[in-house]
Structure 1
Amino acid sequence: MKINVGISIFMGVVIGIIVCYLFGKKTILKKYIQLLKIANLQAKKIVKNAEKIGEVIKRKKMIQAKKKYICIKLKHEKFIRIKEKKIISIEKKIKEKENFLSKKVETFFKKNHFLELKINDYENQYKILKRKRSELRNIYIKKINNLENLSHFSSEKAKKELVNIFKDKVKNQAQSYINDIINESQLTAKKKAKKILIQAIQKIGIEQVIENSVSIFNIDSEEVKGRIIGKEGRNIKALEKATGVEIIVDDTPESILLSCFNPIRREIARLSLHRLVIDGRIHPAKIEEIVEKTEKKIEKEILEIGKKNIVDLGIRNIHPELIKLIGKMKYRSSYGQNLLQHSREVARLSSILAAELGLNVKFAKRAGLLHDIGKIPEEISDIPHAILGMQWAKKYGEDIEVCNAIGSHHDEIEMSVLISPIVQISDSISGARPGIRKNSFESYSKRLKNLEDIAFSFYGVNKAFAIQAGRELRVLVESNKIDDTRAFQLSCDITKKIKNEMTYPGQIKVTVIRETRAIQIAR
C-alpha cells in the first residue's frame, strides 16, 4: 500500500515537471520570436542610416576632389601663362639679336671693302720698297767690290784681322782684371777666415781638464786608514783584486792614492772606498758587494752624463747607444785631454763656424760632439778611430753629412760635405793649444792597455790588471779551467810574450791568482 502511494506521488511530480517545462518552452519561444522581429527592424533602420551617411560622405569627397582639381588646374594655367610670357620675351630678344647681327654684318662688309682697298695700297707700296732695297744692295755690293779692288784685300780677311786685333786686346784686359779680383778676394778671404776663427774661439770658454793616472782619496783619521788596510793588508788586496786599481798607502796624512790608467776603474775604486768608509763594515766579502753595486751605479751615471750633455748642447733624437758612448767620454782621455770636454768644445766651435758660414748648425754640432766616439772602446782595433766612429754613427742612424764629417776629420776618407772641414778645423783648434795635451800620458796608458791585452789573449783568464805604473801584471784565472800546474805555466807564457812583444823600462812582475770558493747558504 505504501509502495503504491509512493509511486503515485513520484508519477505526479514527474508529470508536473513535464507540464511546467512545456509551458515555459512555449513562453520562451514567443519571447524569442518577438526579439527577432525587433532585431530585424533595428537592422533595417541601421542599414538605412548607413546608406544615408555613405551618400553624404560620397558627396563630400566628390566636392573636395572637384575643389582640388580646380586648384591644380588654376596653378597649371598660371604656370603655362608664365612660361608663355618667358617664351615671348626670349623670342623678342632673339629677334633683336638677329637685327643687331644683320646690321653688324652689313657694317663688316662695308669695312671689308675699305680694308681691301687699303691692302691693295699697302701691297703696291711694299713692292716699291722691295725694288728700292734690291737697288741699294746692288749699290752696296758695287762699292765693296770697288774698295776690295782698290785695297787688294777681301772683306772676309779684313773682318778676321779686326776680330783678332780686338780679341787679343780684350783678352789681355780681361786677364789683368781677373788677376786683380783673385788677389783681392784672397786677401779679403784670409782676413774674413781669421776673423771668423778668432770670434769662434773667443766665444768658447771651456776649462780644459788634463787627465792623470792618480786620484787622491781623503780620509778623516789614521784609524780609518788602518781599517781600510785590514789585517795583514787583506782589505787592500781584496779591493785591488775587485777593481784592478793599485791602492797606495804611504806616510801622507789623511789620504790614500788610487793609481790606474783607466779612469772608470779609478772612479769605481774611489766611490767604493767612500761607501765602505760610510758603512763602516770593511771586509773582503763586503768589498766585493760594494764594488759590484758601484759598477752598476757607474753604468747608470754614464747614461745620465750622456743625456745631460746632449740636453746642454741642444741636440735631439740621438740613439741611446750613442748617448752611452758620450757618457763614457767623461772617463776617457786623448793625449791627457778629457775626451768629453774636448768633444763639447769641438761641437760648440763647429756650430759657431757653421753659423758664420750659413751652413747646417745642427749637423755641425752633432758631428763635433761625436767625432771622437771611436776612441771609446778599450780593446785595441786595427780600424782608425775616425772610421770606427763613422761606422757606429751609420749603425745608429746618423745623417750622411754627420757620418762623413766624423770619418774624414783626420783625412781617412774624402770630405764630401761642407761641415767636414769645419769639424776638422774645430778639432785642430781644440787640441792645438799650448799645454792642452800630454803625449806621455797617452803612450803610458797605451802601454798598460797592451799589457792587459797580452794577459787576456791566453785561455782561462778572467780578469787582468796592470798596476804599480805597469811594473806588475795581476792576472785572475778561472779555477775550473786552470789548475795549479797550469797557473804556473801561464805566468811563464805571459812573461815570455811580454818580453817578445813589448818594450818597457825596468822589469814587470806577473802574478797569476787562482782561487777556489765553496759557497753554501744555510736557510
Structure 2
Amino acid sequence: ADEEIKGRIIGKEGRNIRAFEQATGVDVDLDEEGVIRLSSFDQVRREIARRSLEKLIKDTRVQPFRIEEIVKETEKEVERIMFEEGERISHEVGVYNLPREVIGVLGRAKFRTSYGQNLSLHLLETAKIGTHLAEEIGANVDVVRIGGLLHDIGKVLPGDGSHVDLGVNFLSKYNFPEAIINSIAEHHEDKPFSSIESVIVHVADAISGARPGARYEDVEEYGKRMKEMEEIAKKYDGVSDAYAFEAGRELRVVIDPGKLTDSETTVIADKIREEVTSKLAIPGEVKVTAIREFRAVSS
C-alpha cells in the first residue's frame, strides 16, 4: 500500500478510517510501511473488512458514506459465500435437507479455526469418519452423519456459554431428532452417552482433531513437550540418546550396546513408552523405537 492509498483510506482528519473501523468492527493499523493490517478476533468481520478494503482501494470516491455502502454490499456478498459453503459441505457428506438458517450458520465455519484446524474441514472429516464407523457397526448412519457435521456449530454462534450449549440451543429450534441433538450435547462427554451414535460422533471428532498436522499449539509448549519426551528416555541407564519425531508420536532411542542386551533393550523401550504416555498428554499412540547397534571393526 503506497502513501497515496493510505492517505485516501485515512481521509481528512481521519474521517474515513474511523468510518471504516465503525462499519466493519475491525482495527486498522497503517503504521508499517507498505502494509495495511486488519485486526479482529472475528474472522468473518476480518474477511468483510478485507474485501471491502480491496474495493475501496480501487474506488476513487473514498468517503464515509461510500465506505458504509461498500461494507453493506460486502456483508451480503460474504453471507452468500457462507451459505454456499454450508451447502457445499452438507452436500459433500450427503445431507440435503437442512433448514436455510442452519446452512448459513454452518457456512461460517469457512472462516473459523479450532486449534489452527479449519472448522469446515474438521466438520467434514468428523461426518465422513463417523459415517464410515456407523456403516461398519450397523449404527444409524443419518444420525451420525448430521451429528458429526453439526457437532461444533456452536463455535460460530455468538453468546455466552460453551460451544456445546450454544449449538444445542440453536439446533433445538429446528425440530432435529432427539438422537442428533444428544450426539451434539454429548460429544465432549459433558453428559453420559445416550446411544452408540453419540459415542461414534465423539470418536470421529477425536480422530479428526488428533491426526498428525491437523492442529497446532503454542510453539513453546510444543517444543517443551518434545524435549520432555527425550529427557524421560535419556534418564534410563543404557540410553545414550533420544529423538522425538512426528509431533511427539514417535520416540527413537539410541541404546549403548555395551550396557544393554537385546532383551533388556525391549524391556527399556516398553518402560519408556509407559512413562511417556502416563506423564505427557499426547494424542494418539506413542511409538518407541529402540536402536541397539553393535559394530566390530577389524583392521
Q: Which category of TM-score, normalised to the shorter sequence, fits these structures? A: 0.5 to 0.7
Q: Answer yes or no: is the 8 Å Cα contact 1:390–1:403 preserved in 2.
A: yes
Q: Distance in 1 between matches of 2:12 and 2:213?
A: 44
Instruction: Tell me how far 1:438 sits from its aligned partner.
Output: 5.1
Instruction: Tell me how far 1:292 sits from its aligned partner.
Output: 2.0
Identical aligned pairs, as a percentage?
46
Is there any run of 5+ residues in structure 1 with no aligned partner, and where? 1-218, 441-523
Deviations 1:283-335 (A, max 9, x none): 12211221122223222322222122212222121122211221122233333
2:22 is the counterpart of 1:241 = yes
**Matched residue type, 1:417:** S
Deviations 1:215-244 (A, max 9, x none): xxxx5x443233223234332222112212
2:186 is the counterpart of 1:405 = no
Partner SS state of residue 36, structure 2: strand
Q: Distance in 2 between matches of 1:250 and 1:387?
A: 41
Quote the residue 2:201 is aligned against. Answer: 423
Q: Which has the higher contact order (CA 8 A, sep 6+)?
A: 2
Quote the residue 2:10 is aligned against. Answer: 229
Aligned partner (choices 38, 47, 51) of residue 271 of structure 1: 51
Aligned partner (choices 385, 399, 414) of residue 163 of structure 2: 385
Greater Rg over alpha carbons, structure? 1
Quote the residue 1:43 is aligned against. Answer: none
Partner SS state of residue 37, structure 2: strand
Instruction: Tell me how far 1:272 sits from its aligned partner.
Output: 1.0
2:112 is the counterpart of 1:332 = yes
Quote the residue 1:307 is aligned against. Answer: 87
Deviations 1:33-76 (A, max 9, x none): xxxxxxxxxxxxxxxxxxxxxxxxxxxxxxxxxxxxxxxxxxxx
Deviations 1:3-45 (A, max 9, x none): xxxxxxxxxxxxxxxxxxxxxxxxxxxxxxxxxxxxxxxxxxx
Instruction: Tell me how far 1:350 sits from its aligned partner.
Output: 0.8
Residues 387/227 of structure 1: CA separation in 2 closer, same or farther (3 Å cut) = closer
Q: Answer yes or no: is the 8 Å Cα contact 1:387–1:412 preserved in 2.
A: no
Instruction: Tell me how far 1:256 sits from its aligned partner.
Output: 1.3
Quote the residue 1:104 is aligned against. Answer: none
Quote the residue 1:181 is aligned against. Answer: none
Partner SS state of residue 28, structure 2: strand
Is there any run of 5+ residues in structure 2 with no aligned partner, and where? 219-299
**Matched residue type, 1:246:** D
TM-score, with length taken from structure 2: 0.66
Q: Distance in 2 between matches of 1:371 and 1:261?
A: 22
Q: Distance in 1 between matches of 2:9 and 2:77?
A: 22
TM-score, with length taken from structure 1: 0.39
Deviations 1:58-95 (A, max 9, x none): xxxxxxxxxxxxxxxxxxxxxxxxxxxxxxxxxxxxxx
**Matched residue type, 2:17:** I
Residues 429/290 of structure 1: CA separation in 2 closer, same or farther (3 Å cut) = same
Q: Answer yes or no: is the 8 Å Cα contact 1:259–1:266 preserved in 2.
A: yes
Partner SS state of residue 247, structure 1: strand
- Larger helix percent: 1
**Matched residue type, 1:248:** D
Q: Distance in 1 between matches of 2:69 and 2:207?
A: 45
| Alignment map for 1:45-124 (pairs within 5 Å) | none
Partner SS state of residue 280, structure 1: coil
| Alignment map for 1:323-402 (pairs within 5 Å) | 323-381=103-161, 384-402=162-180
Alignment size in residue pairs: 219
Q: Distance in 2 between matches of 1:261 and 1:367?
A: 27
2:24 is the counterpart of 1:283 = no
Deviations 1:378-412 (A, max 9, x none): 2213xx33244234333312223222211111112
Q: Distance in 1 between matches of 2:33 and 2:137?
A: 55
Q: Distance in 1 between matches of 2:102 and 2:22?
A: 31
Q: Distance in 2 between matches of 1:399 and 1:290?
A: 41
2:4 is the counterpart of 1:257 = no
Q: Distance in 1 between matches of 2:151 and 2:166?
A: 10
Residues 317/265 of structure 1: CA separation in 2 closer, same or farther (3 Å cut) = same
What is the CA RMSD across the aligned residues, in angstroms?
Answer: 2.3
Q: Distance in 2 between matches of 1:429 and 1:284?
A: 48
Partner SS state of residue 291, structure 1: helix
Q: Answer yes or no: is the 8 Å Cα contact 2:89–2:120 preserved in 1.
A: no
